[in-house]
Amino acid sequence: MTAGVGVYLYCIIRCSEERVFEGVPAIGGTGAVVRTVTRGGLAAVVSDSPFERYEATRQNLIAHERVIEAVMQEQTPLPVRFGTIADPADPLGDLSKLLDARATEFDGLLREMDGRVQLSLKAFWRTDAIVFDQIVAEDARVRAMRDSLARAASGASQSSRIQLGEMVKAALVRKRESEAAKLLSTLRPVAERVSENPVLLDRMILNGAFLVGRDRESEFDRLVAVLDVERSEQIRFMYVGPVAPYDFVRIIVNWAPAPVAAPVSAPSPVPR
Give pLDDT tens digits for 25-62.
999 888 899 999 999 899 999 999 888 889 999 999 99
Distance separating alpha carbons of residues 243 and 201, to the nearest angstrom: 23
Rounded to 5 degrees, φ, ψ at 19 are -150, 170
Q: Give the 3-state secondary structure of residue 19.
A: coil
Distance separating alpha carbons of residues 27 and 246, to the nearest angstrom: 18
pLDDT for 263 beyond 80: no
Rounded to 5 degrees, φ, ψ at 85 are -130, 130
Per residue in 148-193, pLDDT (tens digit) is 666 666 655 666 667 666 777 777 778 888 899 999 999 999 999 9
Dihedral, CA of residue 38, residue 43, residue 46 and residue 51, to nearest 10? -80
Q: Is residue 259 very low, low, confident or very high in pLDDT (cuts 50, 70, 90)?
A: very low
pLDDT for 24 beyond 80: yes
Q: What is the mean pLDDT of residues 209-224?
A: 97
Cis peptide before 257 (omega within 30 of 0): yes
- 8 A C-beta contact, residue 97 and residue 7: no
Distance separating alpha carbons of residues 13 and 212, to the nearest angstrom: 19
Per residue in 71-123, pLDDT (tens digit) is 999 999 999 999 999 988 888 899 999 999 999 999 999 999 999 999 999 99
